[in-house]
Amino acid sequence: MKKIIGSLLLSGALLVSVALPTVANAAENRDGSTNVTATFTAGNTDVTPVDPTDPDTPSTGGDGNNGSNTGNEGGSGLSLIYVTNKLDFGSHAIDVLNSNTYAANYTNADDTKTNADTSALWGNKAVIEVSDTRGTNNGWSLQVSGSALKSTSGDTIEGGTLALPTGDVTNSGTATNDAKSVAVTNALGTATNVLTAAKDGGAGVTVDQLDPTNIKLTVPANTAKAEAYSTTVNWSLTDTPAS
């Protein structure tokens, strides 16, 4: 009887052993991935003038005489959103012997002259602002042109020049957009680049501040009459990138 029981128990043990499946150890997997996507479209809302000293901050209007500027007041896509709308060089006695040069913030030295009107300057600077929200980063060019100073009676000052200095350029955002300010020998002539951005540059808002001390009007000797003279300087923004 003991043998039978032993055999039965052994047989049962064998059957149980055969019935258990063999389990292989799975390989460990400690890496994974997640796809991240984003889509951007060209801006279609107007960008308004910004604080020249902080291009990330919209102007609140009125600060630095911006509020008195009735010229460009914003735009979408590629736009000239601000430009100082007046440059005044004061009043001067006629000089028949010498060519004279005057600055846009001229202060009189004697009773024969009067100060320049600097009310249109923003933070004591002439300011240009360009906004590019096209999303192409294709660059652009801003040109300036003009004509000779003309009096109310129609007389012109032939040979007069208006020189613009290289300005101080900043832009919105944390990375530079590589826009360049260009000195202009005579803004009273044919169209000349004054602010440019090459391909892959110029995105966001670009601010160019010109020191009025270095904005110079030169009048040749014996060309001006005892009259008030004026002219218009024109600014033209194109989508042509700087070379």
Asked whether the predicted pLDDT for residue 11 surpasses 70, the reply is no
Token digits of residue 188: 């009273």
Q: Averaged over 139-148, what is the pLDDT?
A: 97
pLDDT-derived band of residue 123, with 50, 70 and 90 as boundaries? confident
Cα angle, residue 123 at apex, residues 103 and 65 outer, rounded to 5°: 100
Read off the pLDDT of residues 188-229 as tens digits, 9 standing for 90 and up.
Answer: 999 999 999 999 999 999 999 999 999 999 999 999 999 999
Instruction: Report domain extents, the chain.
Output: 78-238
Read off the pLDDT of residues 42-86 as tens digits, 9 standing for 90 and up.
Answer: 777 888 899 999 999 988 764 444 444 545 667 888 999 999 999
- SS3 breakdown of the chain: % helix, strand, coil, rounded to 5? 10, 30, 55
Question: What is the per-residue pLDDT for 3?
Answer: 33
Question: What is the per-residue pLDDT for 6?
Answer: 34
Question: What is the per-residue pLDDT for 169?
Answer: 98
Question: What is the per-residue pLDDT for 67?
Answer: 43
- Cα–Cα distance, 79 to 131 (Å, whole number): 5
The CATH classification of domain 78-238, taken from the options 1.10.540, 3.50.80, 3.30.70, 2.60.40: 2.60.40
User: What's the gap between Cα 127 and its chain centre?
Assistant: 11
- Is the CA virtual torsion 126, 142, 138, 44 positive or negative? positive
- Cα–Cα distance, 167 to 175 (Å, whole number): 19
